Amino acid sequence: MSERNTWIRSLHDLGLAAWFGGSLMGAVGLNGAAKDEGGSEKAGARISSSGWAKWTPVNMAAIGAHLFGGGGLLVVNAHRVANQQGVAASTTAKTVVTAAALAATAYARVLGKKVELASSSDPEDIEKAEQHPIDMGRTRRQLACVQWVVPALTGTLVVLNALHGEQQRPTEQLPGMWERARSATHFMS
């Protein structure tokens, strides 16, 4: 129990922090500033799209670090997941919320790329946008919604991570493992 997993935990936590913080800052700061300073809807979309395009590789690295760290933590804490009451349920919840956050992030990027192409002044992008026309109003409304889903889901992961931290306290581990063992023997009789 005294084994440390500092690197794995750091990858997990820093990746999640960047994913959450970047999505929240983008929704509030970047998109808000682009709207205020863009001058027109199309110019604002170009500014916002440029910022999100620059953030995407960093966000991908953050998500990768979080997933790698989360997988590592699952491996090193497999005994707790199997034996401590409540840990399997919170781990399942984290897995489901992580999958939803990944899906929302991917969907936001797809929508953002559509807006980026439709608002671009680059002749190649204009040609691509003309080949695949979109309802810009509908796409922007969808993006306006999903941009808040990502920080909501990643914020939920922060809370679930705090719950996992609480479950690792020695005062939680022994009673949790005892209760799991006791409930397992109840099914055997």
Residue 125: per-residue pLDDT: 67
Residue 93, pLDDT score? 95
Ordered by start, the domain boundaries in the chain are 7-188
Per-residue buried b or exposed e for 133-158, using 16+ beta carbons within 10 Å of the residue's own CB? eeebeebbebbeebbebbbebbbbbe
Query: Nearest-CA neighbor of 63 among 117, 15, 5, 26?
Result: 15
pLDDT in tens, the chain (189 residues): 457 889 999 999 999 999 999 999 999 999 999 989 988 888 888 899 999 999 999 999 999 999 999 999 999 989 888 888 888 999 999 999 999 999 999 999 999 988 888 877 777 766 776 777 788 889 989 999 999 999 999 999 999 999 888 877 666 555 555 565 666 666 665
